[in-house]
A and B are shown apart, each in its own frame.
Chain A
Amino acid sequence: MGIREKETTSHGTEREPALVETPLRLVELARPREREAKPSGDGLIRLDEVRKKLAGRRDFWRSFDQVLETEAYKKRLDDEFPERDSLLKLDRRDFMKFLGASAVMAGLAGCRNLPTEKIVPYVRPPEEFVPGKPIEYATTFVHDGFGIGVLAESHMGRPTKIEGNPDHPASLGSTDAFTQASVYGLYDPDRAQEVSKGKDLWTWEAFYEELYKALEANPGGLRILAEATTSPSLLAMLRQVESKHAGSKVYHAPPAVGTNALEGAVLAFGRRLQPVYDLSKADVIVTLDSDFLATDPGRVRYARDFSSRRQADPPEGMCRVYTVESYPTLIGTMADHRATLKPSQVEKFARWLGGQAGLGTGETGQFGGVEWCFTCAQDLQASRGRSVVIAGEHQPAEVHALAYAMNHALGNVGQTVRFVEPMLPPSEGLRALVDELNAGKVSALLILGGNPVYEAPADLDFASALSKVALTAHWSLHEDETAAACVWHLPANHYLECWGDARAYDGTVSLLQPLISPLYAGRSAHEVVEGVLGGARRARDVVRDYWAGQVGSPESWESWLEKGFIPNSAAPAAEVEGIRPPAPSSVAQPSGLETLFLPDPTIWDGRYANYPWLQELPKPFSSMTWDNTVQLSPRTASAQGLENHDVVEIELNGRKVRGPVWVVPGMADDTAVIHLGYGRTRGGMIAEGPGFNANLIRSSLFTSYVEGVRLSLQDKHFPLGVTHGHHQTEGRDIVRLGSIEDWKRNPSLAPPHAFDPKLDEERNLYNPEEFAYDGHKWAMAIDLNLCIGCNACVTACQAENNIPSVGKEQVIRHREMHWIRIDRYYLGGLDHPEEIVHQPMTCMHCEQAPCEPVCPVAATTHSVEGLNQMVYNRCIGTRYCSNNCPYKVRRFNFINYGDRHDYPSTQDKKKPAPSLAALQNPDVTVRGRGVMEKCTYCVQRINQARIEAKKEGRPIRDGEVVPACAQACPTKTIVFGDMGDPNSAVSKKRAEQRNYQLLEELNTKPRTTYLGKLKNPGSGA
């Protein structure tokens, strides 16, 4: 034993010294007998001795042994393992065993070399911060310049989910797919992170230094090209730039949907005005090739207003929709009367309808191709002041002007539509900028957002114009095509990192506040322009001071931020007068194939091309993912000798690009629709690759459809990732549909051959009361009458439930992971389908679920509240449950999708994406490979509500649990709740006679039920 001094404290008590030697020492073990310790103490307490020892002492003592300093005591004190007699008695063999085992253990312990990672305790959390509990902040998502008020959910300072702001007029608590996916953009691994000049990393200061030098040399040589923005404070700053640097100029790029609506107002009223609709007051809606439920800045609000009049029996009666269109639209699928017309024919129809409305613009006979034209005209007349005519964004200004004139003539202005001062600033077109650049007048060009090198029509040749400017800088989220063509690239901040403002569709001023400090070296638009102005104000101060100056006082600031917008800041209705129907469109009457270039329904103009959630979101109608196509009607495709998967060369005015063909029933004949946003060459590993760039053949001369596109077959069998390949219902009772008349006669809307549930009661072999659900009985009702097929629920589910994207190759193999999908069925013939119905499909949570008994390891089970649960940890992945699911709503993780950021198109560029880990919702398990997964009814939200209710000692209230899909849904198609409570919203829906169970004859007793779709055709039809 080593010799150690007993340490004595000031009180004189002994402290046991820490032992540092190893307990086993070879020398001792070699001579165990000699070292054998005596039994502890001799059993006799020599009290006299103790008394003697203690006499006169004034220190603390603990035991007699201690006082006597017996052998046993000393040994206990000295020896780390006082009971190790047995150890000391080791013989050679045991010793060797221990030695071997120790060596093995030491070897095992040495196998992993863990790096030192210091952790820091969370000493001072911010106020109201409860770890594990998300906080929501109101902010504003800006899409194509216009804002939608949102609530961003932040987990421990990490935004993970976007919900609609219930108070915001553009949202009312709902969102669209873009908004839902926007949070991905924050963590996008391909975001631009640093200021760069060429290939070198630089600093903001260096950039400004160079800019100031250029401005000094030529103060009027600055041009700014800003993407579409409605931010009043930013626009004010840009005006300041123009006034500070005399001669400099700010250009505003048009939004992706174009500015035909504003130009139409110029034709009709003589000045730019923006229409704002109020569909809650509209009894009759006529749309002229308009997809306003998908593309208008007010789309989410419009969808809500529309659905409020589309309930089965609303107090004001169900509204009626007439649609003429060239390509299926969301509103078109809801239309009670729908007709397809070539884009050029839409103006003719608008003129005809205008003539009927008393504008004197068209002929009065039957309009060819639109059987219901007179019904529509009469209906409009009969609902003066309660109708609305909406023109399509991509239709020429004349159609918009006609629509405005009709609304005016029908007395709708001020009722269902009002006109407000436009929020988008006026600007000269891109052509003027290109001319200036080419003329060499510009010494510095700052591109504030957008991607003009990619987006600008090919005839402008923006890239070569850029090369004529010495100082070009591009500010954006990604290093894209424009960044590559510019000298400087400036990283932008994501909207969740920014202070700012934007106007909503109706002009409401919506505020952006950051939820997280910038992840990278980016700056917001306000900060960049502030730098150009030479100031050093912070973005927050700029926005706050601007609005304090405009309305109210700085004191209101915090209450505005809390709400996310400035109350009552909607734009007032402008007085309109002097309306005149426009002269016929200057566009010649085209013959042959008319082509529309439209922003993509998922990745828009390409700005979301790097978001796999949106790339993999099946486009409405075509169910296409990861690609854009030349979309043709079946008849046109046959006439051209083309089929799905053919590759054609698309030629327009000598410019050519190649792309695959896809046939879309419900399109107008002799029309081609090509979505923009694809064929990116730079801008992130997801963006680069898929699709083809239709901008390469576009011309800046056309803001609407173009003629003269020629298609020539080049190749066959281009692989395309389509999630939903079959259009018809095969006569099966899957979607129920009927007119109001039918409904009155047959309230269940069940077809004659439908399964009769009464038979089930008679024939059922099973005891229906086998399990009485005593507690909550969760259920979902999906009202097909309201679903417009906008896809918001799909992306919301993906964001909420950590659902991975799988890539095009895997989609082709039918392995997409969406827990909710939107099935789309056509009714009627191929060339003129009568109806297109959307049917959201999630796990049905069957009470007698076929998936449950076949699982060999009981990984899918039933909860007492009726949830069909997946136990991921237990799942071994036999996939039997999926085979046995008649609804095929289960999804299997075939490869480790959760960890992947390498998609087939970019397989040579695999890179880890640690930032994406922060995107995951911490309340939901991230599933691994080989495990089945599916919709859980957002069980994490149910449990959250349960905890809150328990804390407050009350039952869960109806409406307290809202699954992500239902929350996002702009039309409130999806209703969730406790069907055990007869007063709950879901019980009321289920009590409606339209309510039906899908595949009821299988006796699965699904908890998710559907309500049949109603049609409200006009009486003349």
Chain B
Amino acid sequence: MATTEPKDPKDGTIWDERLITGDPTYKSIEDSIDSVVLDQSRHQRNWQLVFGLGFLGTNMLLVAVTVLLYTGIGIWGNNIPVGWAFDIINFVWWIGIGHAGTLISAILLLMRQQWRNSINRFAEAMTLFAVMCAGMFPLLHTGRPWAAYWMTPYPNTLGLWPQFRSPLVWDVFAVTTYLTVSALFWYVGLIPDFGTLRDKAKKKWAAKVFGILSMGWRGAARHWDRYEKAYLILAGLSTPLVLSVHSIVSLDFAVSIVPGWNPTLFPPYFVAGAIFAGFAMVIILAIPTRKWYGLEHLITMKHFDWMAKIMLATGLIVAYGYVSEVFYAYYSGSIWEIALIQNRMKGPYAPLFWSLWICNILIPQVLWFPRIRRHLGWLMFVSIAISIGMWLERFVIIPMSLHRDYLPSSWGMYYPTKWDYMMFAGTIGFFFMMMFLFIRFLPAINIFEMKDLLHRLKHSGHGMKESVAVHEEGI
């Protein structure tokens, strides 16, 4: 396809303004997406490699969790003063990654951003699996995970409720709501596509399974009507979640007395950071998938360009957060806050702090250049840097604030153990395993919405720039 790709008149890079490139028809779109599911022979070495690695990682995770449950969290490096470390870093990191999915599916839907159609399904699945990975940590990081359900309000003979003043209880509500709504949203969106797959499936069992999953979808006008309404309601429900979940997660820190944990800036800056990290992960996943399954005409450079712009914007908000943290520490005149910032900049973990600034402030600035926004290699590099940077951000906030707080007598260092790394790597493995299972067995791109998009592009009347461009191309 590269040969036909037009060039940008300004800088000569390969550039196509369209959201669907090539010469698509409804059938060709449908085929290119559903064949990934229906033609299992398409999953060759690449799939096996990633899935295999993910599967190994998942097994490692199971080993790590078993040992953890048997021995206690003493196998990790956590200590007093650093009560939280990899466990909560990973929790916040994964929760953050999930945010892009919800943003794409809910907010962009409400804003009628049609470019979301080719990546929303994919991003929603990512959200779901990221939240699963995230949810494991707060559960397993408790000293007695078998009693962790006490954090939920459930009727019991003791008449005891959770302590609602604690942000950890808010977390429970925020995360479980998030998981439920995300799963529902994802599933509801899949129903019309299940119907398509059921109809096109050649194998009997596949037709049966998709038939059950499609819940009797016949594509009737009434179905469509109800579907649209339900989907819109769910989008409305999800929208506040994009903002609330990470705000609440940030309150785990912000309500505390720990220097470095309690800037009032935390909620917005955590939300921006989450979207920042989420889009980076979408890009990391989209680049290889798109190539391996020949979906270049559906996930186009236009999509990457826009995602990169969102990353740049949220990255700037995050950078503002970092700078203001430093500013306010000095502005406050509080000796604890000043000591904390100095410890971040000059203390034993200073290299991690400066790596954070490089990854999250310096490197994303290259996205100002259109040339780089349209270069997949660069995008991959920037996205990986951002993912690392966002993990470092949580390291800087959590253990680095805890390890030196008020009384110098209790200062101590934190060093992770092999089990900390295994747990973390294990969740990454689990995430990739689930993503690749999803790609293989479910339509990774929304079939009917892409067809809808094609229809709208063909019968433009919406006055959108893209549709005009498409129109001129004469689709």
Task: List the interface of chain A (C-beta within 8 A of B).
Answer: 724-726, 728-732, 734, 810, 813-815, 821, 823-825, 839, 841, 850, 853-858, 874-880, 882-884, 886-888, 890-896, 929-932, 998-999, 1002
Is the CB–CB distance between A883 and B411 below 8 Å? no
When C-beta atoms are compared, the residue in chain B nearest to A892 turns out to be: B80
Knowing A894-B73, A895-B72 are in contact, say whether A880-B166 is a contact too (CB < 8 A). Answer: yes
Instruction: Return the contact of B72 from the options A725, A853, A890, A930 (Cβ within 8 A).
Output: A930
Is the CB–CB distance between A854 and B168 below 8 Å? yes
Q: In the assembly, what is the distance between CA of A894 and CA of B408, in Å? A: 23
**Additional A-B contact list (17), CB under 8 Å, known A726-B408, A932-B143:** A732-B406, A815-B80, A854-B255, A855-B163, A857-B160, A874-B150, A876-B147, A877-B144, A879-B78, A880-B84, A884-B256, A886-B406, A886-B407, A888-B410, A894-B143, A929-B74, A930-B142
Q: A824 to chain B: which residues have CB within 8 Å?
A: 409
13 contacts between A and B (CB under 8 A): A730-B408, A814-B80, A853-B166, A856-B150, A856-B163, A857-B162, A857-B163, A858-B160, A879-B78, A888-B407, A894-B72, A930-B144, A1002-B406
Cβ contacts B245-288/A at 8 Å (1 or 0 each): 00000001001111000000000000000000000000000000
Q: A894 to chain B: which residues have CB within 8 Å?
A: 72-74, 78-79, 143
Is the CB–CB distance between A815 and B74 below 8 Å? yes
Is the CB–CB distance between A999 and B406 below 8 Å? yes
Q: A930 to chain B: which residues have CB within 8 Å?
A: 72-73, 142-144
Is B165 part of the binding interface, using a Cβ–Cβ cutoff of 8 Å?
yes
When C-beta atoms are compared, the residue in chain A nearest to B77 turns out to be: A813
Q: A730 to chain B: which residues have CB within 8 Å?
A: 339, 408
Instruction: Return the contact of B143 from the options A734, A815, A877 (Cβ within 8 A).
Output: A877
Q: In the assembly, what is the distance between CA of A893 and CA of B74, in Å? A: 8
Is the CB–CB distance between B72 and A931 below 8 Å? no
Is the CB–CB distance between B74 and A856 below 8 Å? no
Is the CB–CB distance between B143 and A893 below 8 Å? yes
Instruction: Return the contact of A884 from the options B73, B138, B257, B409 (Cβ within 8 A).
Output: B257
Is B167 part of the binding interface, using a Cβ–Cβ cutoff of 8 Å?
yes
Is the CB–CB distance between A876 and B83 below 8 Å? no
Dominant SS among interface residues on chain B:
loop
Q: In the assembly, what is the distance between CA of A726 and CA of B80, in Å? A: 15
Residues of B2-17 whose CB lies within 8 A of A: none
Is the CB–CB distance between B73 and A841 below 8 Å? no
Q: B335 to chain A: which residues have CB within 8 Å?
A: 731-732
When C-beta atoms are compared, the residue in chain A nearest to B415 turns out to be: A813
Q: B255 to chain A: which residues have CB within 8 Å?
A: 853-854
Chain B interface, number of residues (Cβ within 8 angstroms) = 50
**A791 CB to nearest B CB, Å:** 15
Instruction: Return the contact of A815 from the options B79, B145, B339, B413 (Cβ within 8 A).
Output: B79
Is B148 part of the binding interface, using a Cβ–Cβ cutoff of 8 Å?
yes
Is B141 part of the binding interface, using a Cβ–Cβ cutoff of 8 Å?
yes
**A331 CB to nearest B CB, Å:** 22
Which 7 A-B pairs have CB atoms at the shortest separation, nearest pair first? Answer: A877-B143, A930-B143, A894-B74, A879-B83, A895-B74, A888-B410, A823-B409
Is the CB–CB distance between A814 and B412 below 8 Å? yes
Q: In the assembly, what is the distance between CA of A884 and CA of B258, in Å? A: 6
Is B71 part of the binding interface, using a Cβ–Cβ cutoff of 8 Å?
yes
Task: List the interface of chain B (C-beta within 8 A of A).
Answer: 71-75, 77-84, 138, 141-145, 147-148, 150-151, 160, 162-163, 165-169, 172, 252, 255-258, 335, 339, 402, 405-413, 415
Q: In the assembly, what is the distance between CA of A450 and CA of B259, in Å? A: 53
Q: A1002 to chain B: which residues have CB within 8 Å?
A: 257, 406
Is the CB–CB distance between A876 and B409 below 8 Å? no
**A665 CB to nearest B CB, Å:** 14
Is the CB–CB distance between B162 and A888 below 8 Å? no
Q: B162 to chain A: which residues have CB within 8 Å?
A: 856-858
Q: In the assembly, what is the distance between CA of A855 and CA of B407, in Å? A: 22
Is the CB–CB distance between B143 and A876 below 8 Å? yes
Is the CB–CB distance between B80 and A891 below 8 Å? yes
Q: In the assembly, what is the distance between CA of A893 and CA of B335, in Å? A: 32
Q: In the assembly, what is the distance between CA of A997 and CA of B405, in Å? A: 17
Q: A823 to chain B: which residues have CB within 8 Å?
A: 407, 409
**B289 CB to nearest A CB, Å:** 37
**B151 CB to nearest A CB, Å:** 5
**A978 CB to nearest B CB, Å:** 27
Q: B148 to chain A: which residues have CB within 8 Å?
A: 876
**A921 CB to nearest B CB, Å:** 23
Q: B339 to chain A: which residues have CB within 8 Å?
A: 730
Instruction: Return the contact of B81 from the options A729, A854, A858, A888 (Cβ within 8 A).
Output: A888
Q: In the assembly, what is the distance between CA of A884 and CA of B160, in Å? A: 23
Is the CB–CB distance between B408 and A729 below 8 Å? yes
**A910 CB to nearest B CB, Å:** 14
Instruction: Return the contact of B169 from the options A825, A856, A890, A929 (Cβ within 8 A).
Output: A856
Is the CB–CB distance between B166 and A887 below 8 Å? no
**A450 CB to nearest B CB, Å:** 38
Q: B415 to chain A: which residues have CB within 8 Å?
A: 813
**A826 CB to nearest B CB, Å:** 11
Q: B78 to chain A: which residues have CB within 8 Å?
A: 879, 894
Is the CB–CB distance between A726 and B256 below 8 Å? no
Q: B410 to chain A: which residues have CB within 8 Å?
A: 887-888
Is the CB–CB distance between A876 and B77 below 8 Å? no
Q: A732 to chain B: which residues have CB within 8 Å?
A: 335, 406-408
Is the CB–CB distance between A887 and B412 below 8 Å? no
Q: B74 to chain A: which residues have CB within 8 Å?
A: 810, 815, 894-895, 929
Interface centre among B81, B143, B148, B407 (most CB of A within 10 A): B407
Q: In the assembly, what is the distance between CA of A887 and CA of B142, in Å? A: 22
**A810 CB to nearest B CB, Å:** 7
Q: In the assembly, what is the distance between CA of A890 and CA of B81, in Å? A: 9
Is the CB–CB distance between B411 and A876 below 8 Å? no
When C-beta atoms are compared, the residue in chain A nearest to B259 turns out to be: A886
Interface centre among B145, B168, B339 (most CB of A within 10 A): B168
**B250 CB to nearest A CB, Å:** 14
Q: In the assembly, what is the distance between CA of A893 and CA of B167, in Å? A: 23
Q: B407 to chain A: which residues have CB within 8 Å?
A: 732, 734, 823, 841, 886-888, 998-999
Is the CB–CB distance between A854 and B166 below 8 Å? yes
Is the CB–CB distance between A929 and B144 below 8 Å? yes
Q: A725 to chain B: which residues have CB within 8 Å?
A: 411-412
Instruction: Return the contact of A878 from the options B77, B80, B168, B256 (Cβ within 8 A).
Output: B168
When C-beta atoms are compared, the residue in chain A nearest to B165 turns out to be: A853
